[in-house]
Structures are given as structure tokens and as C-alpha cells.
Amino acid sequence: MKNLIQPLAWYLLLTSVLALASAFSLSLVSGTIYAQALMPAYQPGSSAPLPAMHGGQC
């Protein structure tokens, strides 16, 4: 019975770690993509004002 349960437990553990790592990396990347979508034409040295976030509400 141990020969059946132990590989399944390792598989579950490794897939859980992979899922957590994937979620973490996706959260980092999606935040960057969201920020780029908000300010596609903004250049750091330009005099153009930054777009208002959340519909103009601060």
C-alpha cells in the first residue's frame, strides 16, 4: 500500500509547488502587463500628464 500512496503523495506535493510557483510568476507578469496597458504612450521624460487611474477618482 505504501508503494502506491508514496508516489501519489510526491506527485501531489510537486504539482502543488508547481502551481504555487506558476501563480506567483503569473501575478508578477500580469501586474506588469496591466501597468503597460494603462500607460502605453507614456515616456519617462515627456511633459504629458499621466492618465488618471480608476476612472479619474483618487
Evaluate whether 51 touches 39 at the Cβ level (below 8 Å).
yes
Q: How many CA atoms lie within 13 A of 1 on its CB side?
A: 0
Nearest Cα residue to 34 out of 57, 17, 51, 49: 51
Q: What is the reported pLDDT for 38?
A: 63
pLDDT band at 39; cut points 50, 70, 90: low
Q: What is the reported pLDDT for 29?
A: 80
Grid-cell match 500607460, residue found = 39
pLDDT at 24 over 80: yes
pTM value? 0.51
Q: Domain segments of the chain: what residues?
A: 1-26
Q: What is the mean pLDDT of the segment spanning 21-34?
A: 80
pLDDT at 8 over 70: yes
